[in-house]
Structure 1
């Protein structure tokens, strides 16, 4: 498993409230999903290369939300770069999506 991207931001709300909101519709763990409420982690992965992971951490201003994207391809781990056009603009899209999620969690 190779970390490709990591973006993070502070949710200006108490950690326990953020945890409640984040896990409100998270469902349960399954064949392509990990939901660990105690550890504050939600992860999803596909059959080929992708694993996305959200985690919550204490922060002096509320809660730190971290989103990580991993390449989990067991072989041909170079192929996701080609399939995703070298990930050009990918980080910016992740950062935009994270800002939107933070705004939703702060409501």
Structure 2
């Protein structure tokens, strides 16, 4: 498993409020999803290369939300780069998505 991207955002709200909002409608763990409310982690993955993890951490200003994208390809781990056009613009989309997520979690 190779970390490709990591983005973070600070939610200016109490950690437990953010935890309740973050886990409100994620459901339970399944064949392509891990939901660990105690550890503050939601992970989801595909059949080939992608694993995304969202985690929640204490922060002096409220709660830190971290999103990580991993390459989990067992063979041809170079192929996701080609399939995703070398990930051009991917980080910018992740950062924009994180800003929106923080806005939503602040309620």
Tell me the TM-score normalized by structure 1.
0.99
Give distance in 2, aligned partners of 1:58 and 1:75: 36
Could you tell me how far 1:96 is from its partner in structure 2? 0.2
Aligned position for 2:3:
3
1:1-107 maps to which residues of 2 (within 5 A)? Answer: 1-107=1-107
Q: How many residues align?
A: 107
Query: Deviation above 3 Å: which 4+ runs of structure 1?
Result: none
CA deviations 1:51-106 (Å, max 9, x no partner) are 00000000000000000000000010000000000000000000000000000000
Structure 1, unmatched stretches of 5+, are none
- The DSSP-based 3-state class of the residue aligned with 2:76 is coil
Could you tell me how far 1:26 is from its partner in structure 2? 0.8
Give distance in 1, aligned partners of 2:81 and 2:11: 31
Structure 2, unmatched stretches of 5+, are none
- What is the RMSD computed on CA atoms of the aligned residues? 0.3
Tell me the TM-score normalized by structure 2.
0.99
